[in-house]
């Protein structure tokens, strides 16, 4: 019988970096694997993130090193650029399919969510057929060995209970309703954040190309 691999206990920084890598592998595949510069911008997005953070590249680099030790990310190089790029290995370390990875990414980046919130925010990550399909996926993730998510008890006044990931502790696993409203307000800017992330990655690669030409 195959041994069950326990889940890692990720820090807040590790959760944000891993979640960002999973997200961008789905939403901007042309710019994945990601450079350190592009990944830092992805971690610091003001939309689709709760909480909003302001990591510097050193913080992201140290976090990548710790995730690499845990086997959850790896590096990639090649082509005309010598810039080191990073990709996640979560779906390799654990038997997770794209639909499950998309849900975990949302929970890593946004905190606890209801099935309805997952449905409304998952469009660019995975096209779920219905909210019933999301519920089935959440049940599967909660009953897996090990379990990746769990259902939180309802707070007073809440209509729906939220699900939370089990990849590490979170500062506030029962976010308030105003925070959800704020996420909705910033949602239209997600495309702009992705375009900025793309431009920053292109700039990083252009700088590397210039350096190579000057070395010749």
Q: How many CB atoms lie within 10 A of CB 94?
A: 16
Which pLDDT score is estimated for 185? 37
pTM: 0.79
- Domain topology for 12-170: Arc Repressor Mutant, subunit A (1.10.10)
% residues pLDDT > 70 (the chain):
75
User: Average pLDDT of 99-109?
Assistant: 98
Write the DSSP string, 2-66: PPPPPPP---HHHHHHHHHHHHHHHH-GGG-SEEHHHHHHHHT-SSS-SS-----HHHHHHHHHH
Task: Please say if the pLDDT value at position 173 is more than 70.
Answer: no
- Cα dist. 79→11, 39, 201, 215 in Å? 33, 19, 15, 17
Mean pLDDT of the chain: 85
Task: Please say if the pLDDT value at position 101 is more than 90.
Answer: yes
């Amino acid at each position: 019988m195959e041994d069950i691999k326990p889940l890692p206990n990720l820090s807040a920084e590790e959760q944000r970096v891993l979640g960002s890598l999973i997200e961008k592998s789905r939403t901007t595949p042309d710019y994945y694997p990601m450079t350190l510069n592009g990944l830092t911008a992805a971690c610091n997005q003001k939309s689709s993130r709760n909480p909003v953070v302001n990591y510097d590249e050193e913080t992201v680099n140290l976090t990548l090193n710790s995730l690499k030790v845990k086997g959850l990310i790896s590096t990639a190089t090649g082509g005309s650029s010598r810039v080191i790029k990073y990709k996640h290995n979560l779906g390799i370390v654990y038997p997770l399919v794209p639909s499950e990875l998309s849900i975990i990414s949302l929970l890593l980046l946004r905190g606890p969510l209801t099935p309805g919130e997952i449905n409304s925010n998952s469009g660019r990550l995975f096209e779920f057929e219905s909210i019933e399909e999301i519920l089935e996926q959440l049940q599967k993730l909660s009953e897996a060995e090990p379990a990746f998510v769990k259902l939180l008890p309802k707070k007073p006044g809440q209509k729906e209970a939220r699900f939370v990931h089990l990849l590490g502790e979170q500062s506030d696993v029962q976010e308030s309703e105003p925070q959800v409203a704020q996420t909705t307000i910033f949602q239209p800017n997600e495309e702009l954040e992705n375009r900025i992330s793309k431009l920053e990655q292109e700039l990083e690669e252009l700088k590397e190309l210039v350096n190579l030409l000057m070395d010749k």
